Amino acid sequence: MSSGAEEIEHRGGTDRPQALAGRRVLELADESGVYCGKLLADMGADVIKIERPGGDPARFIPPFWGGEPGPNRSLFFLYTNTSKRSITLDLRKPRGRHLFRQLARRAHLIVETFPPGYLDALGLGYASLRELNPELVFTSITGFGQTGPHRGFKCSDLVASALGGALHLTGAAKDPPVALAGWQAFITACAFAAASSLIALYHASRTGKGQRVDISLEECAAAATHVCGAAKWLDDHIVPRRGGTRLFASVPSGAYPCRDGLAYLMVNRVHHWRALARWVAEVTGNNVLLDPLFDGPSANRQPHGDFLDAVLTEFTSRFTVEELYREGQKRHLAITPVRTAAAVAGDDQLAARDFFVPVEHDAGQTLAYPGAPYRLDETPWRIRWPAPRPGQHNRGVYGSELKLTEAEIRSLEEEGVIRSGWPPLAHPEPSRESASWNSLPAWRVRGSAGSWRTAGPR
Amino acid sequence: MAGPWIGRLMAYCGAEVIKVESRDHPDVTRQYIPPDAPERGVETQLSPWLTDWNAGKRFVGLDLRHPEGASIARRLAARCDIVVENYSAGVLERLGLGLAELRRARPDLIVLSSSGYGATGPCRHYRTWGPNLEALSGLATVSGFPHRPCTITQYAYPDVASALHGLFAVLCALEYRSRTGQGQHIDLSQFEVTVASMGHVLLEFLANGVEPPRLGNRSRHAAPHGCYPCAGGDRWIAIAVASDDGWESLCRAAGKPRWRSDPRFATREERVANAAALDEEVSQWTRTRDAYELMHELQRAGVAAGVVQTVEDQFLRDPQLAARGFFERISHARKGEVVANGIPLGLTETPGRTGLAGSAIGADNEYVLGTLLGMRAAEIRRLADAGVVQGEHAPLSACRGANTG
């Protein structure tokens, strides 16, 4: 398929093959599911993002590039929609549904995040699409899955992290439970969904049979916490809870103060403990940590955690973070700096590996993006182009690929079925259409007079 | 731990996964001392982490430092589609098991090398555990409440994120191989996975040159958005309201018309700007309420709300996880049966299943060496006597270190 967008040239070149080239994916996803599409698209799949006429409200999730809202300024949206194509389509209109069925007939995979039953009610659920396309893999990412008494519950990253057990295991004991930044429940579920979808595609290409992939945000969060999960609790009857920066089973572990910041230190094997104890003795002249009382596995040191922390704090406070990091690693100790975003952006290892990739946007602006999570030597990961504008690929998809005439496309635009223009029209009806889109902000659009007004979906 | 979990997920989906260990370098999940009977020392088969990270696999014990051990490993690689390894950079090459040798054994092999910092670069030899990566990636700094400079998970999140991204990368390589017949090498840096998983947060610095603020549980475009105290010790409910509809529903469900008419909370922008005052109001209201009752009331009203659950809550008090059979019962050679958190891949036509919960080092020597490689029993015995093939009949030679994942 032609991309309709100019490929970004960078390391690895555009001549290299991509692992998922030739796979056609339709994405109907809100912020809970877009990272799944990004994983697929950056590996070469043709991911067509289907947006409501006017565009996806996720385009207005703050913060924005340059601080100024705009349909292609949301940093979340830009990051999670690289290498995708965008078409606009109103699934509530009969002609929109007809077009969607035509697209589904040609697709290998659909990734969607509507509430259970929503697409079925439109006649576009898995049951009807599999009739058109038996090999189709239909992946749904929802708060609680397609079955069970809570399938209709409302969800968000925070709620999934709460029920999934992640919140109770994060932060300081004295504070309320707290979420990781960056919607990690969504990210985890999307990584599960992307892997599952490939497994289902593999099965489909061997057997000719597609399937429904039913991803639950709550379950994915619960799976992510498995090291503090049922196997351990039922074994030792200790309910794990958040406990600051020290890990429950590793002594010592935690964020220790240096002269100019914090460093994270974790000892997990006895030879690491001995190396640390020797180092402390060398530097401080204090041999107390060499006492056999503290030798052996962490369990031996567990009763003395506070004492050890006091000795170690006195030790680490003599160094800068950088000194402790480099010297500790020289001694094979797992010591890392507690980094700010700025420090990560300037990290020597990431720089040596060309991790950050420049991506050229409209108007010649370039932005450095966090790069490949994995490096495949034959089929490299690649941001082929930045996040598309709403409906940027309408003509390519509806015209070149579905073979609609220009007159047909125009009539679809006039009816509002595939209207791509900006700003969007307010939706005429009060929208309860999608609970999975309800966690989004009302769209804010700069009107012609330069004043803010609120447009669709409510 | 990222490597072992990739194998665990593959085994769950029906792949035959063979774990190669030695007595000198047993998997770290085996380093477990029963807390109720520490005098028994390390109990490698009883470790619950063995179940979490290594269930469903076959276990073969080989001394790879011995040329015959390395040779067997190469023969095994020749029978495999995928090799997942997380040795320090250079170690496998020294053992004669580097990428070139493995590819000679099987040209279309897919090899995933998982490491903290990646296979290249000045820090490729550096060591990390999951929480180190939370700190290194910036995740620990951008997460949490404003007054906390470092917020860490107890569940080593980067290990999980790395395993899932690693699995996806391997599946991409398999897709490419089935199309072209060509294998490849995958260099997985857990540092880079963690940064990519929070890439949009980091982008605020890359695009605008400012540090992303620590928001705690708050949101820049939704309020109320947080964990609110409930009746009982350390009981909390998460509530997330982004839309005006959701706000009206919350006011109705709480019986607080006063909130709705309060000008500080009139619009989403006002609610976000006055989040501190709003959080205080909501906390006053939730403080005396039962968390589960409240969750159901709010969900009935259409408000996203969920109890902050522990594993005990999930196991005993979550009808949704129960109805979907989330927790998996897995048979265990010595305990009879164990229960583990499920693997939510959600494949409805080809659901997964876990075989044994994890057994001893070398428990499957006969199957792997005899049945798969066709070695004679006498030959296996000779190699066992020479210490090349290893089982757990002898005590672990070096029960090194602690017991965590």
Q: Is the pLDDT of residue B158 over 60?
A: yes
d(CA B395, CA A45): 50
Q: How big is chain A by its Cα radius of gyration, in Å?
A: 26
Residue B28 is predicted with a pLDDT of 78
Locate the chain A residue with the closest alpha carbon to B10: A199
Q: Which two tokens stand for residue B339?
A: 């229960």
Q: Please name the residue that has the structure tokens 């020289």.
A: A330
Q: How confident is the model at residue B2 (pLDDT cuts 50, 70, 90)?
A: confident
Judge whether residue A7 has pLDDT over 50.
no
- Residue B403, pLDDT > 80, answer no
Chains A and B: how many Cβ contacts under 8 Å?
574
> How would residue A5 be classed by pLDDT, with cut points 50, 70 and 90?
very low
Indicate whether A136 pLDDT > 80.
yes
How many helices and strands (H and E) does chain A possess? 17, 14
pLDDT at A347: 98
Confidence class of residue B32 from pLDDT cuts 50, 70 and 90?
confident
pLDDT for residue A431: 32
Q: Cβ–Cβ contacts within 10 Å for residue A367, how many?
A: 18
- The three-class DSSP label of residue A141 is strand
Angle between helices A34-41 and A184-207 (to 10 degrees): 50
- The string of DSSP letters for B2-41 reads HHHHHHHHHHHTT---EEEE-SSS--GGG----TT-GGG-
Q: Could you read off the pLDDT of A273-283 as tens digits, one per residue? A: 999 999 999 99
Q: Is the Cβ pair B122, A352 closer than 8 Å? A: yes
Whole-number Å distance between alpha carbons of B110 and B117: 20
Give pLDDT, residue B90.
85
With bands split at pLDDT 50, 70 and 90, how would you rate the model's confidence at A410? Answer: very high
DSSP characters over A274-333: HHHHHHHHHHH---GGGSGGG-SSHHHHGGGHHHHHHHHHHHHTTS-HHHHHHHHHHTT-
* Residues forming a β-bridge with A358: A368
Burial class of residue A237 (count of CB atoms within 10 Å of its CB; 0-12, 13-18, 19+)? exposed
pLDDT tens profile A194-212: 999 999 999 999 999 999 9
Contact A230 B121 (CB under 8 A): no
Nearest one of A42, A10, A75 to A383, comparing CA atoms: A42
Q: How far is CA A400 from CA A3, A393, B232, in A?
A: 11, 10, 62
* pLDDT tens by residue, B64-100: 999 999 999 999 999 999 999 998 888 999 999 999 9
Give the mean pLDDT of A20-36.
98
Mean pLDDT lowest among A51-60, B157-166, B230-239, B305-314: A51-60
Nearest CA in chain B to A374: B188
How many C-beta atoms lie closer than 10 Å to residue B25's C-beta?
16
| Beta strands across the sheet bearing B304-307 | B225-229, B236-240, B304-307
Q: Please, which pLDDT band fits residue B393 given cuts at 50, 70 and 90? A: low
* A128 vs B395, higher pLDDT: A128
Nearest CB to B126; choose among A167, A329, A377: A329
* Amino acid letter, residue B314: Q
Cα distances (angstroms) measured from residue A434 to each of A81, A155, B245, B395: 21, 12, 13, 60
Do residues A26 and B155 make contact, with C-beta atoms less than 8 angstroms apart?
no
What b/e readout covers B230-269, taking b as 16+ CB neighbours within 10 angstroms?
beeeebbbbbbbbbebbbbbbbebbebeebeebeebeebe
Range 93-132 of A in CB contact (< 8 A) with B: none
CB A226 to CB B341 under 8 A? yes
CB atoms < 10 A from the CB of A68, how many? 8
Cβ atoms B82, B109 nearer than 8 A? yes
As beta bridge partners, residue A253 has A266
Quick check: A63 pLDDT over 50?
yes
**Pick from A223, A264, A374: which is nearest to B135 by CB?**
A264
Per-residue confidence (pLDDT) for residue A422, from 0 to 100: 54
What is the average pLDDT across B296-319?
98
Q: What is the dihedral of CA B121, B122, B128, B132, to 10 degrees?
A: -100
A300-319 tens-digit pLDDT: 899 999 999 999 999 999 99
Please give the Cα distance from A104 to A116 (Å, whole number). 19
**What is the C-alpha separation between A8 and A44, in angstroms, rounded?**
13
Query: Using the beta-carbon criterion (under 8 Å), do B186 and A377 form an inter-chain contact?
Result: yes
Tell me how far apart the alpha carbons of residues B337 and B317 are, in angstroms, rounded to a whole number: 21
Q: Does B370 reach chain A within 8 Å, measured CB to CB?
A: no
The CA angle A182-A185-A186, to the nearest 5 degrees, is 75
* Distant-in-sequence, close-in-space partners of B354: CB < 8 Å, separation ≥ 6: B11, B12, B55, B56, B328, B330, B340, B343
CB-CB neighbors (< 8 A) of B167 in chain A: 195
Candidate from A224, A254, A435 with C-beta closest to B160: A224
- Hey, CA dihedral for B283, B285, B291, B294, is it positive or negative? negative
pLDDT tens profile B143-153: 999 999 999 99
Q: Looking at beta carbons, which residues of chain A come within 8 Å of B169?
A: 373-374, 376
In the predicted model, what is the mean pLDDT of chain A?
Answer: 89
Q: Comparing C-alpha atoms, which of A100, A101, A66, A72 is closest to residue A84?
A: A72
Task: Give me the mean pLDDT over the B205-231 stretch.
Answer: 97
B270 DSSP 8-state letter: H
| Chain B contact for A168 (CB, 8 A cutoff) | yes
**A158's tokens:** 């925070």
For residue B394, give how far its alpha carbon lies from the nearest alpha carbon of chain A (Å): 20
Distance from the A260 Cα atom to the nearest Cα atom in chain B, whole angstroms: 13
Interface test with A, best of B153, B217, B297 (most A CBs within 10 A): B153
Task: Find residues 249-308 of chain A whose CB sits inside 8 Å of chain B.
Answer: 249-251, 253-255, 262-264, 266-273, 297-299
pLDDT over 80 (residue A13) = no
Q: How far, CA to CA in Å, does A95 sit from each of A124, A148, A413, A424?
A: 13, 33, 11, 19
| Of A162, A188, A269, Cβ closest to residue B400 | A269
Q: What is the mean pLDDT of residues B275-290?
A: 98
Please indicate whether residue A435 or residue B204 has the higher confidence score (pLDDT): B204
| Chain B residue closest in CA terms to A273 | B401
Residue carrying the six token digits 């409501």: A52
pLDDT tens digits, one per residue of B180-199? 999 999 999 999 999 999 99
Residue B310: which of A239, A243, A379 has the nearest Cβ? Answer: A239
Q: Are B48 and A229 in contact (CB under 8 A)?
A: no
Active site (annotated) includes residue B63? no
- In B195-353, which ranges are E strands? 225-229, 236-240, 304-307, 328-332, 336-340
Percent of chain A with pLDDT over 70: 88
Which of A214, A264, A339 lies nearest to residue B346, judging by beta carbons? A214
Yes or no, beta carbons of B299 and A223 under 8 Å apart: no
Tokens at residue B377, please?
């029993």
CA B1 vs CA A99, A169, B5, B33, B166: distances in Å: 46, 18, 6, 19, 12
B128 touches chain A (CB under 8 A): yes
Q: Which of B27, B52, B63, B159 is catalytic?
A: B159
Reported ipTM: 0.95
pLDDT value at position B36?
74
Amino acid at A318: R
Chain B residue with minimal CA distance to A298?
B402
Task: Tell me: pLDDT of A244 over 90.
Answer: yes
Contacts of B326 in chain A (CB under 8 A): 219, 222
| Mean pLDDT, rounded, for A424-437 | 36
Q: Which is higher by pLDDT, A331 or B393? A: A331
Q: Percent of chain B at pLDDT above 90?
A: 84
Question: Does residue B400 have a pLDDT over 60?
Answer: no
Q: How far does CA B194 lie from the centroid of its chain?
A: 12
Q: Residue B84's beta-bridge partner residues?
A: B112
- Contacting residues of B for A225, CB less than 8 Å apart: 155, 311, 341
pLDDT at B397 over 50: no
Alpha-carbon span A407 to B280, nearest angstrom: 58
* pLDDT (0 to 100) of residue A421: 58
Based on C-alpha coordinates, what's the Rg of chain B? 25
Interface of A with B in 24-83 (CB under 8 A): 39, 43, 61-63, 65-67, 75-76, 78-80
- Enter the tokens of residue B340: 């583990």
Q: Measured between CB atoms, which of B198, B227, B309 is closest to A181?
A: B198
Prior bond of A63 cis (ω within 30°): yes
Chain B segment 265-284 residues within 8 A of A by beta carbon are 268
Q: Would you state the pLDDT for residue A236?
A: 87
CB neighbourhood size of A364 (10 A): 6
Distance from CA of A255 to the nearest CA of B (A): 7
Contact A368 B174 (CB under 8 A): no
pLDDT-derived band at A420 (thresholds 50, 70, 90) equals: low
Q: Which residue's structure tokens are 């006895």?
A: A270
pLDDT digits (tens, 9 = 90+) for B34-58: 777 777 777 888 888 888 889 999 9
Task: Report pLDDT digits (tens) over B222-273.
Answer: 999 999 999 999 999 999 999 999 999 999 999 999 999 999 999 999 999 9
Rounded CA separation B210/B223 (Å): 23
Angle between helices B291-300 and B244-254 (to 10 degrees): 130
Token output for B219: 């949101």
The single-letter DSSP state of residue A399 is I
Cβ proximity of B11 and B355 under 8 Å: yes
Strand partners, A213: A139, B347
Residue B159 DSSP one-character state = H
- Residue B242: per-residue pLDDT: 93
Q: Considering CB atoms only, which of B127, B310, B338 is closest to A231?
A: B338
Are A394 and A63 in contact, with CB atoms under 8 Å apart? no
223-242 in chain B: CB under 8 A from chain A: 225-227, 229, 234, 236-240, 242
- The rounded mean pLDDT for chain B is 93
CB contact under 8 A, B227 and A345: no
pLDDT of the residue at A437: 35
Helix (H) or strand (E) holding B61: strand B58-62
Tokens of residue A323, six digits? 């000194």
- Joined together, the tokens standing for residue B353 give 């299943």
pLDDT tens string A231-241 = 989 988 999 99
The verdict on a CB contact (< 8 Å) between A341 and B212 is yes
User: Partners of B153 in the beta sheet?
Assistant: A170
In angstroms, what separates the C-alpha of A245 from chain B's closest C-alpha? 5
**Cβ contact B152–A159 (<8 Å):** no
